[in-house]
Amino acid sequence: MAEFSIIDQYFKRASKSDVSLGIGDDSAIVTPAPSQQLVICTDILVAGRHFPLDTTAHAIGWKSVAVNLSDLAAMGAKPHSILLALSLPTVDHGWLAGFSQGLFDCCDQFGVSLIGGDTTQNSQLTITVTALGWIEHGQAITRSSAQVGDYICVSGQVGDAAFGLKHPGHALQQRLDYPTPRCNLGQQLKGLASSMIDVSDGLAQDLGHILKASNVGAKLQLDQLPIDESLKKLEKQQAWHYALAGGDDYELCFTISPQNFEKLLRQQLDVPLTIIGKITQQTGLSFVYMGENHPLAVQGYQHFA
């Protein structure tokens, strides 16, 4: 089947009104809104490395979009559109139908258009999505502005996806296959959060990126980690490993002053928030359990392990 037939059959749809030129030409053209900055991110998903080989096509399509929208959310940006680069071992019409449906289901839920990309044949299934979003000039939330005394907060639950990966068929596998990018929360945190990151490689490792960029430290309260009842039944060290090192949750971890946290709570939030620690002057990440320092060695996902 020809490349352009695949595009026309599975991926060509009408775009938003501010997309002057979408799928079908050498490049897409988008008209920016006044006083907006363009936020851009990209993620690669490789079969057998970023998702199990038996993952459904619909779930792969959903996740390929969701993980990118999560990166936009971590900057406080409003998602706008995506580009898709798809490498296929073979042309499987059943798989393409399920994949494209999952991709568009995620796009539709978050108001996103597919505006271009590329397809080719390759021995391994590889999906690369580039996501575009808008944010008001100077309002982007970065990793580098955490302040001493800030709360460290996380949305939703952590450890769910890692547990689901190790326990196929468990209800938490849904959190692995269908992550929810916290787009609304990210936009609500503009002007309030001092720094932010999404939890993709493990809470401890991702929080460490904030600490390094901001040149600060943190005390993390192990007994405050928001974990599922399934994890609470495990031995504590195992539960902490899922929550701190598992990754793939795509929740938002952010720092915020106590005063701004009170302001945030006055808004209508669509996801629970938990204070899990505090930013300190002394650099490094330390763990506290029941009021006492608790040494813990944690390593998150390694992209080149």
Flag whether 223 is marked binding: no
Question: What was the pLDDT predicted at 145?
Answer: 95
Q: Give the start-to-end residue ranges of the domains of the chain.
A: 37-136, 150-292
DSSP 187: H
Q: What residues have CB less than 8 Å from 60, skipping those under 6 apart? A: 45, 51, 99, 102, 127
pLDDT tens-digit readout, 179-212: 999 999 999 999 999 999 999 999 999 999 999 9
Flag whether 201 is marked binding: yes
Which CATH code of 3.30.70.270, 1.20.1560.10, 3.90.650.10, 3.30.70.1150 fits the domain covering 150-292? Answer: 3.90.650.10
Flag whether 87 is marked binding: no
Flag whether 248 is marked binding: yes
Flag whether 50 is marked binding: yes
Question: What was the pLDDT predicted at 288?
Answer: 92
Q: Judging by DSSP bridges, how do beta strands 217-221 and 284-289 pair with one another? A: parallel
Task: Output the average pLDDT for the chain.
Answer: 91
pLDDT tens-digit readout, 18-53: 776 777 777 888 888 888 999 999 999 998 888 888
| CA dist., res. 252 & res. 271, Å (int) | 10
pLDDT tens-digit readout, 105-164: 999 999 999 998 888 888 889 999 999 999 999 999 999 999 999 999 999 999 999 999
| CA dist., res. 129 & res. 67, Å (int) | 9
Flag whether 117 is marked binding: yes
Percent of the chain with pLDDT over 90: 75
Q: pTM to 2 decimals? A: 0.91
Flag whether 198 is marked binding: yes
Q: Which residues pair with 220 in a beta bridge?
A: 277, 287
| CA dist., res. 191 & res. 137, Å (int) | 12
Question: What was the pLDDT predicted at 18?
Answer: 74
Check if the beta carbon of residue 245 is closer than 8 Å to that of residue 201. no
Task: Give DSSP secondary structure letters for 43-67.
Answer: EEEEBTTTB-TT--HHHHHHHHHHH
| CA dist., res. 15 & res. 22, Å (int) | 7
Flag whether 42 is marked binding: yes
What Å distances lie between residue 206 and 15, 77, 126, CA to CA? 34, 19, 24
pLDDT tens-digit readout, 71-116: 999 999 999 999 999 999 988 899 999 999 999 999 999 999 999 8
Question: What was the pLDDT predicted at 123?
Answer: 87
Flag whether 182 is marked binding: no
Q: What is the CATH number of domain 37-136?
A: 3.30.1330.10
Indicate whether 304 pLDDT > 50.
no
Question: What was the pLDDT predicted at 16?
Answer: 65
Flag whether 80 is marked binding: no
